[in-house]
């Protein structure tokens, strides 16, 4: 996939119907999702549990766009190969998940997949300065990771602006995750973000039997975000 900074919407399937992932993935893609965001949680780095590699492998054949796997697990290195083999197009690891984030990014790249580094709300932008020549994406968390449906933390806007400056001309995406809505999306896009994860704001009010609501929700986020680019 060629690099560009157009606004991309990445619904998090953490907010999907857990008994119906294949149909949910098809529904969000049919309704305009650009990427599919998979939140992996271990009950240790974050206080919630979600998907092991077999679950991610089961999602894979349903994803026609780009499968972005957000690992909220510690340790992370022992599981990178398994999530790459499960079919991730990009693997994102948290800087806070261990002492050797540089080694972790090397291990992700060694699997031949794209690599992202994620920052919790309390972690400064400068922490990733020496990773910028290795990564394909920086993920700025705008909630404390672990759950969908939390309130957007506004300090992520200024952090995004700093990271966008640090990136310069490098082909690196900035992804925002947590509390993204039509109200908050323009704030982070104006600051330099291009990939917007949204769980509750995409899935709310819809279902696989009523998927056009997903489309309306995705279009509302995209329109608000794109207005911040042009206006
Ligand atoms: C939080 C996850 C997010 C979450 C976003 O730990 O990484 O991807 O599902 O959910 P909303 O959009 O509901 O804040
Ligand atoms: Zn996420």
Judged on CB neighbours under 10 Å (0-12, 13-18, 19+), 191 is buried
Instruction: Please give the average per-residue pLDDT across 206-219, as a whole number.
Output: 98
Per residue in 58-88, pLDDT (tens digit) is: 999 999 999 999 999 999 999 999 999 999 9
Structure confidence by residue, pLDDT tens digits, 140-168: 999 999 999 999 999 999 999 999 999 99
* Domains of the chain, first to last: 8-230 (3.20.20.70)
- Does residue 121's CB lie within 6 angstroms of at least one atom of ligand 1? no
pTM of the predicted model as reported, rounded to 2 decimal places = 0.98
**How far does residue 200's CA lie from ligand 1's centre (Å)?**
8
Tell me whether residue 177 is one of the annotated catalytic residues: yes
Per-residue pLDDT, averaged over 87-100, amounts to: 98
Report whether pLDDT(230) > 90: no
Q: Which DSSP string corresponds to 56-82?
A: HHHHGGG-SS-EEEEEE-SS-GGGHHH
Does ligand 1 come within 6 angstroms of the Cβ of 222?
A: no
Q: Is 14 in the pocket of ligand 1 (CB under 6 A)?
A: yes
């Amino acid at each position: 996939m060629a690099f560009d900074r157009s606004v991309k919407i990445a619904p998090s399937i953490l907010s999907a119907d857990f008994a119906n992932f294949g149909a949910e993935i098809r529904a969000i893609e049919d309704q305009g999702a650009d990427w599919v965001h998979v939140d992996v949680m271990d009950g240790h780095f974050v206080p919630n549990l979600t998907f092991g590699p077999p679950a991610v492998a089961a999602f894979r054949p349903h994803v026609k766009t780009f499968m972005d796997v957000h690992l909220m697990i510690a340790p992370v290195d022992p599981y990178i190969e398994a999530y790459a083999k499960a079919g991730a197009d990009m693997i994102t690891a948290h800087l806070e998940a261990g002492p050797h984030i540089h080694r972790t990014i090397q291990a992700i790249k060694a699997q031949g997949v794209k690599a992202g580094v994620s920052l919790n709300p309390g972690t400064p932008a400068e922490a990733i300065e020496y990773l910028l020549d290795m990564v394909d994406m920086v993920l700025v968390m705008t909630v404390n990771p672990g759950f969908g449906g939390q309130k957007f933390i506004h300090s992520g806007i200024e952090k995004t602006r700093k990271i966008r400056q640090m990136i310069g001309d490098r082909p690196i995406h900035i992804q925002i995750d947590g509390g993204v809505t039509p109200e908050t999306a323009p704030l982070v896009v104006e600051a330099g973000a291009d990939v917007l994860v949204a769980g509750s704001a995409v899935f709310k009010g819809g279902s696989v039997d009523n998927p056009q609501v997903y489309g309306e929700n995705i279009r509302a986020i995209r329109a608000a975000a794109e207005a911040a680019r042009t206006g």
